[in-house]
């Protein structure tokens, strides 16, 4: 679509900077005007936002399920919450199975598995939660 769009802009007599921005935003041709960098960045931002483009909802949901499944494969995990379109993950562990020191190792393991098996834009924050609740009833 980038090259075809540039051809249409040429036929319309548009400024060469605008034409270059259209044809170069997928790196099909070299970027020669500063505005093309802005269009390229905007295109990348748009592509990385779930739901910002058509037909991405199913792909996004599949990616979140894949991420959750990957984490649940690790021993000792009770619950996983994926937030902020996958950029933030909260992992709840079983305190009887995972110690505080093991939790640090577990988070590193999660990070390594994500880096190894999934593509993701930017930074993912993984928070490990290990808590014990004790409830006592008094009469």
- Same domain? For 89 and 114 the reply is yes
pLDDT at 139: 87
Pairwise CA distance, residues 11 & 95, whole Å: 67
Question: Quick one: 41 and 97 in the same domain?
Answer: no
Parent domain of 74: 57-129
112 and 89 within one domain: yes
Does a structural domain hold residue 80?
yes
Give the pLDDT confidence of 53-87 residue by residue, as tens digits. 666 677 888 889 999 999 999 999 999 999 988 88
Residue 95 falls within a domain, yes or no? Answer: yes
Residue at 42 is within a domain: yes
Please give the pLDDT value at position 54: 62
Shared-domain flag, residues 15 and 64: no
> Residue 130: in which H helix or E strand, if any?
none
Which of 4-8, 18-22, 72-76 has maximum average pLDDT?
72-76
Burial category of 108 from C-beta neighbours within 10 Å (exposed 0-12, middle 13-18, buried 19 and up):
exposed
73 and 121 co-located in one domain:
yes
Residue 84 in domain:
yes
Q: If we measure between CA atoms, which residue out of 100, 81, 105, 99 comes closest to residue 91?
A: 81
Residue 116, domain CATH: 3.30.70.1350
Structurally, the chain folds into a number of domains equal to 2
Cβ-contact 57, 51 below 8 angstroms: yes
| 88 phi, psi to nearest 5 deg | -135, 130
User: What pLDDT score was predicted for residue 7?
Assistant: 85
Average pLDDT over every residue of 31-57:
79
Q: Residue 91: helix, strand or coil by DSSP?
A: strand
Same domain for 74 and 110, yes or no, is yes
């Amino acid at each position: 679509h980038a090259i075809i769009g540039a051809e249409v802009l040429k036929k319309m007599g548009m400024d060469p900077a605008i034409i270059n921005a259209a044809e170069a935003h997928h790196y099909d041709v070299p970027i020669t005007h500063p505005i093309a960098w802005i269009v390229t960045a905007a295109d990348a931002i748009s592509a990385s936002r779930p739901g910002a483009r058509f037909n991405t909802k199913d792909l996004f949901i599949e990616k979140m399920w894949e991420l959750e499944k990957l984490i649940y494969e690790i021993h000792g995990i009770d619950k996983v919450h994926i937030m902020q379109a996958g950029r933030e993950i909260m992992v709840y562990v079983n305190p009887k199975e995972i110690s505080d020191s093991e939790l640090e190792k577990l988070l590193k393991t999660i990070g390594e598995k994500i880096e190894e098996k999934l593509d993701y834009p930017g930074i993912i924050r993984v928070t490990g939660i290990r808590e014990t609740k004790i409830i006592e009833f008094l009469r």
